[in-house]
A and B are shown apart, each in its own frame.
Chain A
């Protein structure tokens, strides 16, 4: 037996004895654990599962053990992912700190910053939000105008961020601020970490076309931020901010795919509303063809993702794939959501209340929410720009 097989066997036994049986079922709505100082665990088992996972650094398997990570090799982390999937274990923690900030701190942070922030991130004790977009800086993120003015060993921050997911629940924000207004726009930005409990911060939730949302507006008025909470050099935050975005892009497209693969096939949904015997062609030929087109695009995207993963594992990563998968994944997802509403006909038109099934109301809200998929995290048009420049080498 190879070392990896030993590792797998030991890990499986450990998971079986430490992951409570109720945590080996798919999480229901609102049952996901996002951690943080104000975390409310959906159940005692969810709390126990996170604590158990923390003893082995399972929330950040490949990060160094000195910060509380799992210290695993990539192969071991792949085994962990397989075992978690095989046993149906819920992720013990979901976290922007792990997905996005952690890689930044590991690459650009000081040792003191890593020691100060990584353990809390890994254990789910601090919850993070992302302070990037502003009312005047969406796709043109580098034109952001939230000011950070040096005052001794502090910055004084004034301005407004928007689309800040869960700003009302987060403990800390990683934030892009303008430290040098006279430099060219990409060269006057710094990457800072801000305690959301600081005086001068106000948070207001945003209502979307799909209803309530986790998004917020965040206002800063004379917020004092210690200079040692800046990551990287002053005015050198743009590169760091972009590095973080490359992690966001792959997360969005991968999570969408994981989601849709367990859904009831579109054709089966259409059959429920249209009737007809299984195996027979759907009666609405145009709807049927639209379903096939989405099914096929979804299949091809899944295969391309697998190919990219295999090439990367073989040491031949192709590069700007994150942009392609963000683009294609979200565009296919939008068409899929739209089709789900279309095939429900009148039953897809309800907003709330009686006369509609829960599934119908959810489907409709998800369709409306999906319209943002190709806007958030770098719009489809921005991804096309990136591909044109970095992959195709087309001139500016």
Chain B
């Protein structure tokens, strides 16, 4: 019965909805954009989410988290997406889970409680070059003396300017490693992106890394899992955004009159709307199922993550393109918030791999 939300899940959803509506929303995003805010994070909202314990939902209870699953985080992520509220929930959750699992590192042990309550912010630094890839290549970790050295560039680190700590994926002796780097020690360039959500480039030039900061040098399986988790949380956010852009469009079709009638009475437009509705319902099913599998339900996490991202990349872009077109002239004005959804759709499409990447990966996973 994974699809029917439990009382607890409904209550988390309702709380998230209330907080996000009170402290987030397109108006906050617009202000960050107009002020050229280099961090690109809805600080007040993030504080409110922290205060309610919604930042550590899927982090260990013993360390101050709520000990719940990614499905619950996904419900909050949907609300962030619905309101276009820039908050590093997904990136922080996945990075913090990697740190929390590393009991052997005293640095990780020390950081974990502050990540669980959100007093420190972590993010995953993985993307390199111009396109998502599963394995790190440009950033390398090599041995130096009793410790290590980190070299190379990360091209797109979500909320990289606002984070306190980066969990950096790096190529290492034919495999992959995960390394904890304090933000202040990396060369960070905040990016001014179309979606006004925080993002940064990170450069490491022979950065000295203590052995204790290396979470693992055998990270392939763990990194794969973390990327799948991050992908699914991203699709939850995309799902929320796509539904909201759709909802606004259907409202507009009912209100806008031309030729003496509401334009929503025209069959050509009705069919486009109804077809998007089906697309969105199927999207919701695959995202929710993916998050359930991430929490241990039967199924292949990798397959579901790719299925969900392939679908949501296409759906979010398609729905926002249609939303702008169906709004007509007003749809391309900056005054309307709709453009923000379209811009965010473009960014999330590329993050963690676009539809073509994930269809290719899905086919490989199925042996063709």
Contact = CB atoms under 8 A, between A and B. Distances in A.
A314 B359 contact: no
5 contacts: A267-B367, A291-B368, A300-B286, A306-B3, A384-B271
Interface in A295-331: 295-297, 299-301, 303-304, 306-307, 310-311, 313-314, 316, 324, 327-328
B38 interface: no
B282 A300 contact: yes
B363 interface: yes
A24 interface: no
Contacts of B311: 296, 300
B285 A281 contact: no
Interface in B144-190: none
A258 interface: no
Contacts of B283: 300
Contact of A307 (B250, B270, B285, B359): B285
B87 to A, nearest CB: 27
Contacts of B62: none
Given A303-B289, A306-B3, A328-B278, A289 B273 contact: no
Interface in B75-130: none
A310 B273 contact: no
A388 interface: yes
Q: Which 4 A-B pairs have the closest CB atoms?
A: A267-B368, A388-B270, A387-B274, A303-B285
A327 B4 CA distance: 24
B258 interface: no
A394 B250 contact: yes
A114 interface: no
Given A270-B368, A395-B265, A288 B363 contact: yes
B61 interface: no
B359 A292 contact: yes
Contacts of B204: none
Contacts of A381: 271
A374 to B, nearest CB: 13
A281 B363 contact: yes
A316 B253 CA distance: 28
Nearest to A276: B368
B273 A394 contact: yes
B47 interface: no
Interface in A192-209: none
A236 interface: no
Interface string A367-391: 0000000000000010111011101
Contact of A387 (B278, B289, B368): B278
B296 interface: no
A310 B307 CA distance: 21
Contacts of B271: 381, 384-385, 388
Interface string B319-360: 000000000000000000000000000000000000010011
Given A384-B271, A385-B267, A281 B286 contact: no
A304 B289 CA distance: 10
A271 B368 CA distance: 8
B366 interface: yes
A395 B367 contact: no
Contacts of B241: none
B286 A394 contact: no
Contacts of B261: 395
A396 B310 contact: no
Given A394-B265, A395-B254, A279 B282 contact: no
A385 B274 CA distance: 8
Interface in B229-276: 250, 253-254, 261-262, 264-265, 267, 270-271, 273-275
Contact of A281 (B253, B264, B275, B368): B368
Given A303-B282, A314-B1, A391-B274, 8 more contacts: A267-B363, A268-B368, A300-B282, A304-B282, A388-B273, A389-B270, A394-B262, A395-B262
Q: Which of B271, B282, B368 has the most CB of A within 10 A?
A: B368
A3 B243 CA distance: 43
B278 A327 contact: yes
A267 B368 CA distance: 6
Interface string A249-277: 00000000000000001011011000000
B275 A316 contact: no
A383 B278 CA distance: 11
B288 interface: yes
A300 B285 contact: yes
A227 interface: no
Contacts of B267: 385
B278 A278 contact: no
Given A301-B282, A307-B3, A314-B4, A392 B273 contact: yes
Contacts of A292: 310, 359-360, 362-363
Nearest to A396: B265
B285 A395 contact: no
Contacts of B282: 297, 300-301, 303-304, 328
Nearest to B267: A385
Contacts of A297: 282
Contacts of B275: 384
Nearest to A388: B270
A307 B267 CA distance: 29
Interface in A208-253: none
Contact of A394 (B264, B356, B362): B264
Contacts of A342: none
Contacts of A291: 363, 368
Contacts of A301: 282
A347 interface: no
A78 B289 CA distance: 22
A317 to B, nearest CB: 12
A184 interface: no
A304 B281 contact: yes
B307 A300 contact: yes
Q: Which of A270, A310, A395 has the most CB of B within 10 A?
A: A395
A293 interface: yes
A278 B3 contact: no
A289 B359 contact: yes
A303 to B, nearest CB: 4
Contact of B270 (A293, A310, A394): A394
Interface in A324-353: 324, 327-328
A292 B275 CA distance: 21
Contacts of B265: 394-396
Nearest to A266: B368
Nearest to B253: A394
A278 B366 CA distance: 10
A393 B254 contact: yes
Nearest to A301: B282
Q: Which of B285, B288, B364 has the most CB of A within 10 A?
A: B285
Contacts of A303: 282, 285-286, 289
A52 interface: no
